[in-house]
Amino acid sequence: MTEPSTAGRAAGSASGEASASSSESPTAGRTLRAHPPEVSAAKARRWGAFYYAEQVLRVMKGYGWSIFLYSVGQPAAYLFAMGVGLATLVDTSAVSAFGGVSYIAFIAPALLVSAAVMTAATEFTFPVMDGFKWRRVYYGPHASPLTPEQIAAGQIIAVTLRFLLQSVIYFAIVALFGASPSGWGWGSVLVATLAGLSFGLPLMAYATSIKEDKGQFAMVMRFIVMPLFLFSGTFFPLDTLPVLVRWIGWISPIWHGTELGRVMTFGYEESPVLTIIHVLFLLGLAWFGWVLTKRQFIRRMGQ
Amino acid sequence: MPANETGPERDKEPAAPRYVITAENLTKTYGDVTAVDGISFSVPAGESFGLLGPNGAGKSTTMKMIGGVSQRTSGNLTIMGLDPEQNGPEVRAHLGVVPQQDNLDEELKVRDNLLVYGRYFGLPMSYLKPKADELLEFAQLTDKAKSKVDALSGGMKRRLTIARSLINEPRILLLDEPTTGLDPQARHILWDRLFRLKEQGVTLILTTHYMDEAEQLCDRLIVVDKGRIMAEGSPAALIRDYSTREVLELRFGSERNASIGAELEGIGERLETLPDRVLIYTHDGEAALEEVSARGLRPLTSLVRRSSLEDVFLRLTGRSLVD
C-alpha cells in the first residue's frame, strides 16, 4: 500500500530538515518535522484512495479470523455438503446434465462467485452506514486532504483485496477437491472478485443514499441476495427453470459470474458471444455502481 | 513561522497572506433554511479567534466551510490564500480539525488512530511513530496508547481527537465546541493544552457557547446569532461596549421575578428580567444592592459579579447563550 519511492524520499527529507532545525525548534526541543502542507496535498491527491484502503485493511485485520471463517468456512461447508453429500445422489444422473463434469466441479465456481457476492452484501452495506451515520468514520478522513471519492475508492480497494484473498483460499480448497480440472481455473478467482464488485458497487451506492436504517439491508439479503443465489444456475443449470423465473439469472451478477467461472474451471461450452456478454455485463454493472457511488459520496459529504 | 516555510512551488504566490482566513459575505442555505447569512471576518496568523453563539447559530456550518468540507452557497472564502472549493486537499492539508462530534476509529487502538490519520497526509511512518508518542504525551494519554478507543472517557477521547488533529503539525487549528459535554476538570486540562498551542503560534479558530471558554481562549471573537454577526471584538472590548462593569443578580422566587421590575426602577443603568432572576447592570454592584435593601426589597439571594460575555449576548439578542 505504500509507495516506496516517494515515502522514502519524504522520510529522508524529514530527517534532513530535522537535523537542520533542531537548535531553533520552538516546540519542546524535539527534532521531528512534518513535511509541508503542499507535499501532503500532492501526495494525498495521488495516493489518497490507497491511504484510506490502508485504514480499512487495518480495521479488517482486527477481526481477521471471523472474516476468514465466514468467507471461507461457509462455502467450504456448502462444497462439502453439496459436492460430496448431495453429489452421491446427483452424480447418478446423466453426466451431460452438468456440462459433462461431476456435480462438485459444477457447483464449485458457483459457490466461489456466490461467496464473493455475499461478502459484498455485508462489506458494502453496514460499513457504509457506519461511515456516514453510526460511528461517522468517514468524517475523520474527510477533514484531511482526502476527497470523498478517494474515501469511497479506498473502501472499494480494501474490499476488492478481501475478495481476492478469500477467493484464492477458496479456490485452493476447490483445487484440493479436484474440482477445477482446467488449467485456467485460477481465472475464476478474478471472475469472483469482479462479480463481487458488480453486485457490490450498485449496492454501495444504494447504501450511501440511506439516511435512516429501517432494516433495508436485511431486506436486501432476503429478497435480493437469496433469490439471486438460488436462481442463478448455482445448484442446477438455469435452463432447467421455467422461463418465468429464468430472467432472474439473466440480470444476476451471480449467474454471469458463475457461467464465466465454469468456462474457466472446466471449459464449460458456451457461445463465445455469451462469454463476452458475461464479461461486459459484470464490468458494466460495476462501473455503473462506481459512478453512482462516487456521485453519492460527493453529494452527501459536501453538505 | 518555520512550519509555514514555502517550497519553490509556492513562488507563484506574491507574498504570504496577512490573513490566514478571510470570509466575505459567506452564506450557506439548506433548502429554505439560511444557516449562515452573509458573514464576513478575517483572521491574522497566530490569532485565537472565536465564534460565540447559541446552538443553531451557524457556527458549525461556518467551521465546515472553513474546513473545506462543506460547499458555500455564496460569498468568498480563502484559507491561506486558497479557495477551499477549488483547492480542497491543499486547504485541508494546512488544517487540523477537531469536529464537534468525535469520529475516532473506535476499532483501532489509541496510538493507531494517530498513525492512520497521519497516513492521510502522506506522512511516512518514520515521522509518524515518534510523533504519535509525542502527541500522546501532550494529550496525557501515554499510558492509554495500546487501549481501544471505546475504553476511553469522554475527556480522553476529546484529547485524542485534538492530538489527532495535530499529527500534520497544522498552523491553523479548527475546534468546534471543543469542551462541550466535558466535566470541569477535563475542560481545564483541555484549555491548558490549547493555550500551549496558542503560545506556539498556532492560529486557533474555535466555536463555543461557553462564555468562560471564549474569555479564556479568544483574542477576538464574533458573536453569532441566527447566522449573522451581532458584534465583533476582544472579550474585554465587547464587555466594555455592550455591558456595564458589574452585574447584580437578584432572585425573588419564580413568581415575583417578573413583577418586581417596577419596584427596582432607577437602580443601576439597565434592568434585565429573566424567568429565574433579575439582572441589574451597574458600575457599582454593592451600591446597587444597598439601594435595593433601602427600598425595603428582600431578595432570596443576591450576587455581585463582573460582567461577562453572557451579558453581552443577552444584551445583543435578548436571549441566554445556553438554554
Claim to verify: residue B200 and residue B128 sit in the same structural domain: yes
Q: How many CB pairs under 8 A join A and B?
A: 151
DSSP β-bridge partners for residue B23:
B41, B77
pLDDT given for residue B318 in this prediction: 79
Claim to verify: residue B139 and residue B275 sit in the same structural domain: no
Claim to verify: residue B14 and residue B161 sit in the same structural domain: yes
Claim to verify: residue A15 and residue A112 sit in the same structural domain: no
pLDDT in tens, A267-295: 898 899 999 999 999 999 999 999 999 99
Q: Which residues contact B122 (CB under 8 A, 6 or more apart)?
A: A6, A7, A10, A35, A39, A40, A42, A43, A44, A47, A51, A145
Task: Please check the confidence at residue A3 and state whether its pLDDT lies above 90.
Answer: no
Mutate to test the interface with B, among A56, A144, A297, A300 (most CBs of B within 10 A): A144
**Structural domain that includes position A10:** 1-35
Q: Flag whether residue A160 sits within 8 Å of chain B, measured between CB atoms.
A: no
pLDDT given for residue A240 in this prediction: 87
Q: What angle do CA A97, A101, A103 make, to 5 degrees?
A: 75
Confidence band, pLDDT 50/70/90 cuts, at residue B6: very low
Claim to verify: residue A239 and residue A295 sit in the same structural domain: yes
Pick the last residue of a domain from B200, B220, B239: B239
Claim to verify: residue B50 and residue B178 sit in the same structural domain: yes
Claim to verify: residue A93 and residue A236 sit in the same structural domain: yes
Q: How far apart are CA B162 and CA B167, in angstroms?
A: 9
- Within 10 angstroms of residue B159's Cβ, the number of other Cβ atoms is 25
Pick the last residue of a domain from B239, B255, B270: B239
> A79 vs A172, which has greater pLDDT?
A172
Claim to verify: residue B117 and residue B168 sit in the same structural domain: yes
Claim to verify: residue A195 and residue A52 sit in the same structural domain: yes
**B40-49, B52-61, B191-200 — which one is most confidently predicted on average?**
B40-49
Within a domain: B149? yes
Nearest CA in chain A to B9: A38
The number of folded domains in chain A is 2
Claim to verify: residue B220 and residue B255 sit in the same structural domain: no
Q: How far apart are CA B108 and CA B114, in angstroms?
A: 10
Pairing outcome for strands B48-52 and B270-273: unpaired
- Residue type at A206? Y
With beta carbons under 8 A apart, name residues in chain B contacting A50: none
State the nearest Cα–Cα gap between B316 and chain A, in angstroms. 30
Claim to verify: residue A144 and residue A25 sit in the same structural domain: no
With beta carbons under 8 A apart, name residues in chain B contacting A58: 108, 112, 116
**Structural domain that includes position B268:** 244-306
Within a domain: B321? no
Q: Flag whether residue A178 sits within 8 Å of chain B, measured between CB atoms.
A: no
pLDDT in tens, B229-255: 999 999 999 999 999 999 999 999 877
pLDDT in tens, B169-190: 999 999 999 988 888 888 898 8
For residue B255, the domain's CATH number is 3.30.70
| Residue of B9, B120, B164 with shortest CB distance to A145 | B120
Claim to verify: residue A115 and residue A170 sit in the same structural domain: yes
Mutate to test the interface with A, among B105, B106, B117, B120 (most CBs of A within 10 A): B120
Nearest CA in chain B to A132: B103
Q: Pull the grid cell for residue A45.
A: 491527491
Within a domain: A111? yes
Claim to verify: residue A142 and residue A186 sit in the same structural domain: yes
Claim to verify: residue A105 and residue A211 sit in the same structural domain: yes
Task: Please check the confidence at residue A87 and state whether its pLDDT lies above 90.
Answer: no
With beta carbons under 8 A apart, name residues in chain A contacting B132: none
Within a domain: A42? no
Claim to verify: residue A29 and residue A126 sit in the same structural domain: no
Nearest CA in chain A to B4: A36
Claim to verify: residue B50 and residue B149 sit in the same structural domain: yes
pLDDT given for residue A269 in this prediction: 87
Within a domain: B43? yes
Claim to verify: residue A13 and residue A133 sit in the same structural domain: no
Claim to verify: residue B189 and residue B260 sit in the same structural domain: no
Mutate to test the interface with A, among B72, B90, B121, B193 (most CBs of A within 10 A): B121
pLDDT given for residue A138 in this prediction: 95
| Residue of B10, B88, B103 with shortest CB distance to A137 | B103
Within a domain: A41? no
Within a domain: A43? no
Q: Pull the grid cell for residue A283.
A: 464490468
Claim to verify: residue B267 and residue B233 sit in the same structural domain: no
Within a domain: B316? no
Residues 130-149 of A with CB under 8 A from B: 135-137, 139-147
A33 with B89: Cβ contact below 8 A: no
pLDDT given for residue B18 in this prediction: 79
Q: Flag whether residue A227 sits within 8 Å of chain B, measured between CB atoms.
A: no
With beta carbons under 8 A apart, name residues in chain A contacting B95: 143
Nearest CA in chain A to B67: A143
State the nearest Cα–Cα gap between B152 and chain A, in angstroms. 15
Task: Please check the confidence at residue B323 and state whether its pLDDT lies above 80.
Answer: no
State the nearest Cα–Cα gap between A64 and chain B, in angstroms. 13
Mutate to test the interface with A, among B107, B119, B138 (most CBs of A within 10 A): B119
pLDDT given for residue A22 in this prediction: 37
- Within 10 angstroms of residue B173's Cβ, the number of other Cβ atoms is 22
Within a domain: B227? yes
Q: Flag whether residue A15 sits within 8 Å of chain B, measured between CB atoms.
A: yes
Could you give the 3-state DSSP secondary structure of residue B33? strand
Within a domain: B318? no
Within a domain: A108? yes
B108 with A58: Cβ contact below 8 A: yes
Within a domain: B312? no
Nearest CA in chain B to A52: B120
Where does chain B have alpha helices with state H?
Answer: 59-66, 88-94, 110-119, 125-138, 154-165, 184-199, 211-217, 235-242, 261-264, 285-294, 309-317
Claim to verify: residue B234 and residue B260 sit in the same structural domain: no
- Residue type at B247? V
Confidence band, pLDDT 50/70/90 cuts, at residue A14: very low
Task: Answer yes or no: are the C-beta atoms of A39 and A11 closer than 8 Å.
Answer: no
* Dihedral (Cα; B288, B294, B295, B297), 10-degree rounding: 80
A7 with B124: Cβ contact below 8 A: yes
B276 phi/psi in degrees, rounded to 5: -105, -10
Claim to verify: residue A261 and residue A296 sit in the same structural domain: yes
Claim to verify: residue A52 and residue A23 sit in the same structural domain: no
A19-23, B102-106, B285-289: least confidently modelled range: A19-23
Claim to verify: residue B76 and residue B146 sit in the same structural domain: yes
Q: Flag whether residue A60 sits within 8 Å of chain B, measured between CB atoms.
A: no
Within a domain: B314? no
The number of folded domains in chain B is 2
Claim to verify: residue B10 and residue B93 sit in the same structural domain: yes
